[in-house]
Amino acid sequence: MNRSAQRIWNVRRQLGSSLFARVAGPSGAETRARIHDTPGPRWFGPDRPIRTVHGDASMFIGGLSALLLQSLHPLAMAAVAAHSGYRGDPWGRLQRTSTFLAVTTYGTAGDARDAVESVRAVHGRVTGRTASGEPYRASDPHLLGWVHVAEVDSFLRAHQRYGKRPLDAAGCDGYVADTARVAEALGVIDPPRDQAGLAERLAAYRPELRASREAQEAARFMLVHPPLPWAARPPYALLAANAVALLPPWAREPLGLPYAPAVERRCVRPTGIALTGTIRWAMAAPRPHSEDA
């Protein structure tokens, strides 16, 4: 390997390692090995759409967009604001979420069941009241259903716009059906199993949605004041702009987010394509052969 190639490889490896550490945590390598290398049956085979979507760099944009969309349900957002610790430990929350997605998508059936039971146990302890006195329970199937459909819609939107291999119509329906298995295990009642059902369920929740004070504060935290070093803020700003552009128009006004489709199409979306391409390149960095070192 010549010096120029070595420098490029070093940059690629360092960037990939940094991104992986952010989303997987200090024990990420061990967790990844356990998830992928432990023998046994899985909930989803290697050809299932859920593996394609959840393994793509578009999840970086889809995940942030999902958090913004989920915040519009005042009961769900009240539970997050009071119990999740997202301000004090945002990276820990990200790492726990990414590990859950990885285990249920790629891990053994036994590990997937254990992960679901752990989350259900946490949900069972999360109760409270909103500022206006309305009670909430994180284990409420209706609230779980909102979190699920907002997440699935955001992940799928991101994959279809920024994914390396967008799904065809049957693949999109297959993805929604795959995620329904995890949702049911978590306690969602009758989750949607195709795109039409997903759109219908999202529409059914819309009368309940509004931007509470907690939702507006969370949006400012995620979009304006992220807990990142200054060097990381420019690429994060591109990610955030694309996460906002991914939201349906009706979800933006309550959060005070702009809607400029022409600008987004010409200026924002190309940056999202470039950003996810760079992330994909970095996180797929191969190890050098000994003879090339």
Query: Could you write out the DSSP letters of every residue in 102-125?
Result: HHHHHSBHHHHHHHHHHHHHHHHH
- Over residues 42-71, the pLDDT tens digits come to 999 999 999 999 999 999 999 999 999 999
Q: Range with the lowest mean pLDDT among 16-20, 151-155, 182-186, 210-214?
A: 16-20
CA–CA distance from 257 to each of 45, 138, 148 (Å)?
Answer: 39, 27, 23
Angle at 38 between CA 34 and CA 42, to 5 degrees: 110
Give the mean model confidence (pLDDT) for residues 154-173.
98
Using CA of residue 233, residue 237, residue 238, residue 242, what is the dihedral sign? positive
Tell me: the pLDDT tens digits for 94-111? Answer: 889 999 999 999 999 999
Evaluate if pTM is beyond 0.85: yes
CA 227 to chain CA centroid, Å, is 18
Q: Which residue type, as a one-letter code, is found at position 266?
A: R
Out of 7-11, 112-116, 141-145, 224-228, pick the least confident: 7-11
Q: Where do the DSSP E strands lie in the chain?
A: 127-129, 135-137
pLDDT at 290 over 70: no
Q: What are phi and psi of 137, to 5 degrees?
A: -135, 125
